[in-house]
């Protein structure tokens, strides 16, 4: 069986270094927001090219903390792509804000910049861009809009660690950015983890406090905060793996290149990229008319695939109030999309086999 993602194999490569760093944490007697967190925050800020990185508990909280940091609430509107993972939307609704869904571009699967302006109202506060599947959103057009209307750009970078647009990395393409370090992400830890990056000094200071009960000085609470800290073990593991992120992303690019050059089946629509550095291929998503048939065929041929995602947020049971809304591009993507195996530990013969099997479909 060719696994969709072999997490054990991914982390096994760094076992010695990870073992040593975890032992160091255990020996230190300090387990939350300590030296490891500080070291990783500094290194990840440097990696993204931003002034601040603030560790937190997971990717959902990273977005949640940005919205809390800006003080958006009670009916404030945030524009967001309709075809994102549920977390982007939950971060908005959990703060009492309203997600205003906008259709993606069918070619990049990212928010269609040409449709954003029509979605702006006097209540709009921000545009949340999602670098979906690992491809950076072309933020230039969006900056033009946010500058004119005085809005913030919040990046959901959970799938795009290291992706670049116009020489800048995700995490540095908007006003503030949320990352997830869920084990399966391009940079993943051994549990849950996340962080916020920004160049905004004031926002960074506020988020730093809010993630830790709204407090900078113990037992002195300036904000109604939450508990969303990055623990020292996860920070240590992330610091080890960060050094290999660019190389891992290069492996993903090579596999995607091989897929794109060699999958030759008129039934399969391949993903498009606008530049080499823009995409870090968290997910290699193809589209086809009868997706379930293709998935079954691949399973029968020992190739594991996943669907990102089977149901769009506006059709989910938890958002009944939107179930009747219609987003045809989003729905078409959800109906036809299928994610092929891609990861830095895939062997050449596995990649070749995927291509051969698909070409025989
Ligand atoms: C993974 C993911 C998140 C949430 O991250 P968690 O760490 O699981 O909370 C948010 N947005 C997108 C697009 C994601 O893929």
**pLDDT tens over the chain, length 361 residues:** 999 999 999 999 999 999 999 999 999 999 999 999 999 999 999 999 999 999 999 999 999 999 999 999 999 999 999 999 999 999 999 999 999 999 999 999 999 999 999 999 999 999 999 999 999 999 999 999 999 999 999 999 999 999 999 999 999 999 999 999 999 999 999 999 999 999 999 999 999 999 999 998 889 999 999 999 999 999 999 999 999 999 999 999 999 999 999 999 999 999 999 888 899 999 999 999 999 999 999 999 999 999 999 999 999 999 999 999 999 999 999 999 999 999 999 999 999 999 999 999 9
pLDDT at 308: 97
In ligand 1, the atom with minimum distance to the C-alpha of 84 is 13
Contact 104, 82 (CB under 8 A): yes
Name the residue with tokens 């290149």: 257
Name which of 133, 86, 129, 79 is nearest 108 in CA terms.
133
Which region, left, alpha or beta, applies to residue 117 given φ > 0 means left and ψ of -120 to 50 means alpha?
alpha
- Given the structure tokens 């990783």, which residue do they identify? 40
How close is the Cα of 151 to the center of ligand 1, in Å?
23
Residue 353's alpha-carbon distances to 120, 160, 201, 266, 358, in angstroms, are 47, 26, 50, 18, 8
Give the pLDDT of residue 198: 98
Looking at ligand 1, which residue's alpha carbon is closest to its atom 14?
Answer: 158
What are φ and ψ of residue 284, in 5° steps? -100, 100
166: closest CA among 277, 245, 272, 250?
A: 277
Atom of ligand 1 nearest to the CA of 62: 9
Residue 309 CB-density burial (10 A; 0-12 exposed, 13-18 middle, 19+ buried): middle
Q: Where are the alpha helices (DSSP H) in the chain?
A: 7-12, 15-28, 35-48, 59-70, 86-93, 140-149, 201-210, 232-242, 245-262, 291-300, 328-336, 348-359
Q: What is the pLDDT of residue 276?
A: 82
Alpha carbon of 330 to those of 109, 145, 296, 313: distances in Å?
Answer: 9, 23, 23, 10
Q: Is residue 84 in contact with ligand 1, taking CB distance under 6 Å?
A: yes
The preferred substitution site among 159, 190, 285 for testing ligand 1, maximizing ligand atoms within 8 Å of CB, is: 159
Largest CA distance in the chain: 65
Distance (angstroms) between ligand 1 centre and the Cα of 188 equals: 11
Q: Tell me which of 87, 285, 313 to substitute to probe ligand 1's pocket, judged by most ligand atoms within 8 Å of the beta carbon.
A: 87
pLDDT value at residue 236: 98
């Amino acid at each position: 069986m060719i696994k969709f993602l072999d997490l054990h194999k991914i982390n096994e490569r760094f076992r010695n270094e990870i073992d040593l760093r975890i032992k160091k944490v255990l020996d230190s007697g300090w387990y939350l927001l300590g030296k490891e967190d500080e070291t990783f925050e500094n290194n990840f800020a440097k990696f993204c090219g931003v002034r601040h990185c603030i560790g937190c508990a997971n990717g959902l909280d990273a977005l949640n903390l940005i919205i809390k940091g800006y003080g958006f609430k009670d009916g404030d509107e945030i524009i967001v792509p309709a075809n994102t993972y549920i977390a982007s939307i939950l971060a908005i609704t959990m703060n009492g804000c309203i997600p205003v869904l906008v259709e993606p571009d069918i070619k990049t699967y990212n928010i269609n910049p040409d449709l954003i302006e029509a979605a702006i109202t006097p209540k709009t506060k921000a545009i949340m861009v999602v670098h979906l599947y690992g491809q950076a959103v072309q933020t230039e057009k969006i900056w033009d809009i946010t500058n004119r209307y005085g809005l913030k750009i919040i990046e959901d970078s959970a799938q795009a660690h290291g992706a670049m647009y116009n020489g800048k990395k995700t995490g540095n393409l908007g006003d503030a950015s949320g990352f997830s370090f869920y084990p399966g992400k391009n940079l993943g830890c051994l549990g849950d983890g996340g962080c916020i990056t920004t160049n905004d000094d004031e926002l960074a200071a506020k988020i730093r406090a809010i993630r830790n009960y709204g407090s900078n000085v113990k037992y002195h609470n300036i904000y109604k905060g939450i508990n969303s800290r990055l623990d020292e073990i996860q920070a240590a593991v992330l610091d080890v793996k960060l050094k290999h992120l660019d190389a891992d992303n290069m492996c993903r690019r090579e596999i995607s290149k091989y897929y794109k050059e060699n999958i030759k089946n008129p039934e399969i629509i391949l993903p498009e990229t606008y530049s080499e550095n823009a995409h870090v291929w968290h997910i290699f998503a193809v589209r086809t008319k009868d997706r379930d048939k293709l998935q079954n065929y691949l399973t029968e041929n020992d190739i594991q695939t996943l669907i990102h995602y089977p149901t769009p947020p506006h059709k989910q049971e938890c958002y009944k109030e939107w179930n009747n809304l219609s987003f045809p591009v989003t729905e078409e993507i959800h109906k036809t999309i299928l994610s092929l195996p891609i990861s830095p530990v895939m062997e050449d013969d596995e990649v070749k086999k995927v291509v051969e099997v698909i070409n025989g479909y």
